[in-house]
Amino acid sequence: MDKILVHGGRSLEGDVRIGGSKNSALPILAATLLTKEKCVIDRVPDLSDIHYMLTILGRLGAEVERASGVVQIRAEKIITEAPYEIVRKMRASVCVLGPLLGREKSAKVSLPGGCVIGDRPIDLHLKGFEALGAKVTVKGGDIILSADKLTGARINLRGRHGPTVLGTGNVMMAAVLAEGTTVIEGAAEEPEVIDLARDQMGLKLSASQLHAADGRVWLREHRGEFDVVSVIPDRIEAGTFLVAGAIAGKRVTITRTEPRHLEAVLTALRTAGFDLSLTSDSVTISPNGSRRPLHLETLPYPGFPTDMQAQFCAMLATMEGTSVVTETVFPQRFMHVAELKRMGATIDLDDHRATIHGVERLSGAPVMASDLRASAALVLAALPADGVTEINRVYHIDRGYEAIDEKLNGLGAHIERVKA
Ligand code: EPZ
């Protein structure tokens, strides 16, 4: 397994280009199962999670071609059983359930396991499928769906931790081929969900309309074909590089991004005392000397994103004063705290709340990557740290960040990737 060595103490300066969104591309790739037509999707990031999804689609019978960031998929003849040995590697594989059910009225996919950020139930996905008329069976670790037909329904998908992002997308993808109108209440409104639903997906919606208003997504019968779809910029990659600029930057600009998707993150950075300047597709961050601790709470979009929580913990660990970070979406999502403490951070964990007492400087140490965003947080913490930080199990980072080491080196960092 590869590891990376981060030589701390270098300051970052310059521009970094943001890639296409992993969390938008994954359901859009799954949605190609809805049609026999050829689909062309642009700005698909080169990530191991994307590779897993393309492998699953291929094993379901789709023809898949990839040339740099453009993916062409034609799912003319498909089977409806996703292979366990691949599905188990990526929880997001669950989003093939909706299109398989919508198109073939049957699906068999292994239940996703839990993961380090906490239990990952899919009860809300299954509730939505049942509301459309599907029979749901869980047997031998598989979810088995079957339906004579699917009929539009009014469904509330809000769970005790708020809306479900992949659940909203999954039920949408089944509902677009149902007879009649489906209204999803308590729908997730993350930009990735809107990207999946929007006609930008090239869905020529005849007698159909999709819009998300007040957390509700209206879907009517759908007959259509796909044109080229271009995936939205990855707002979490963008936020991660802004935090890199906050932690170790003189002046860092992220380009080809969508500032509108970053409001809560930009507000938090301004409150913490950083100067930001925006254009329609870029954000520049520069420290202005005053840095202030924060009280943050993660919330469903448009609130502060849970996927940026670990990165902000890394930043706040070296901010003077005491910050408090409350995680409401995945309450156990603090795998990064123990590793940050190995680097000298002073953090008290109490249930789903981290109290961070800023220290002057962290020190490099061998640390272990655990999940995608916790791993990115360790890279960020290592940038200003004294000495070298060795980050093991780097495959966690490669799931969601395309060449993060190269992009940071392009800004002036000194990061070596050591092939195992
Ligand atoms: C998506 O996961 C993202 N993944 C996650 O990003 C992100 O953290 C999460 O949304 C929240 O924003 C992808 O899009 C591939 P949820 P998802 O269903 O859809 C509970 C990353 O780092 N819940 O919105 O799986 C659940 O336990 C990843 O890129 C149920 O109770 O998350 C959680 O507490 C990590 N029942 C909350 O809802 C369900 O049926 C939100 O989960 C489904 C979810």
309 lines ligand 1 (CB under 6 A): no
pLDDT of amino acid 318: 93
What are the pLDDT tens digits along the chain (420 aa)? 789 999 999 999 999 999 999 999 999 999 999 989 888 899 999 999 999 999 999 999 999 999 888 999 999 999 999 978 878 888 899 999 999 999 999 999 988 766 667 777 899 999 999 999 999 999 988 999 999 999 999 999 999 999 999 999 999 999 999 999 999 999 999 999 998 987 434 443 332 333 433 444 444 334 344 457 789 999 999 999 999 999 998 999 999 999 999 999 999 999 999 999 999 999 999 988 888 999 999 999 999 999 999 999 999 999 999 999 999 999 999 999 999 999 999 999 999 999 999 999 999 999 998 889 999 999 999 999 999 999 999 899 999 999 999 999 999 999 999 987
pLDDT of amino acid 219: 44
Q: Which residues pair with 110 in a beta bridge?
A: 142
Tokens, residue 64: 């898949």
306 lines ligand 1 (CB under 6 A): yes
Measured in angstroms, how far is the CA atom of residue 251 from the centroid of ligand 1? 33
Q: What is the number of the ligand 1 atom nearest to the C-alpha of 122?
A: 40
Residue type, 44: V
20 lines ligand 1 (CB under 6 A): no
Say whether 22-230 and 2-19+233-419 share the same fold. yes
Q: Would you kindly state where each structural domain of the chain is located, as residue ranges?
A: 2-19+233-419, 22-230
Which residue of 21, 22, 23, 49 sits with most ligand 1 atoms within 8 Å of its CB, as the best mutation to test the pocket?
23
d(CA 175, CA 143): 18
Contacts of 282 (CB under 8 A, 6+ apart): 15, 253, 254, 255, 256, 257, 259
304 lines ligand 1 (CB under 6 A): no
pLDDT of amino acid 114: 60
Contact 301, 188 (CB under 8 A): yes
Atom 42 of ligand 1, residue of closest alpha carbon: 164
Compute the residue count for the chain. 420
Residue identified by tokens 């999946």 is 196
Query: Per-residue b/e over 70-103, b at no fewer than 16 CB within 10 Å?
Result: ebebbbeebebbbebebbebbbbbbbbbbbbbbb
52 lines ligand 1 (CB under 6 A): no
CATH node for 22-230: 3.65.10.10
d(CA 202, CA 31): 11
Measured in angstroms, how far is the CA atom of residue 102 from the centroid of ligand 1? 22
Query: Nearest CA to 75 among 53, 94, 50?
Result: 53
d(CA 313, CA 326): 11
Measured in angstroms, how far is the CA atom of residue 345 from the centroid of ligand 1? 28
Fold of the CATH domain 2-19+233-419: UDP-n-acetylglucosamine1-carboxyvinyl-transferase; Chain (3.65.10)
pLDDT of amino acid 68: 82
Tokens, residue 267: 């507000």
Measured in angstroms, how far is the CA atom of residue 365 from the centroid of ligand 1? 31
Q: What is the number of the ligand 1 atom nearest to the C-alpha of 371?
A: 22
Q: Is 115 a catalytic residue?
A: yes
d(CA 259, CA 44): 19
d(CA 199, CA 219): 12
Measured in angstroms, how far is the CA atom of residue 306 from the centroid of ligand 1? 9
240 lines ligand 1 (CB under 6 A): no
Residue identified by tokens 């990557």 is 369
Q: What is the number of the ligand 1 atom nearest to the C-alpha of 123?
A: 40
Catalytic residue among 39, 95, 115, 313: 115
Residue identified by tokens 């789709």 is 62
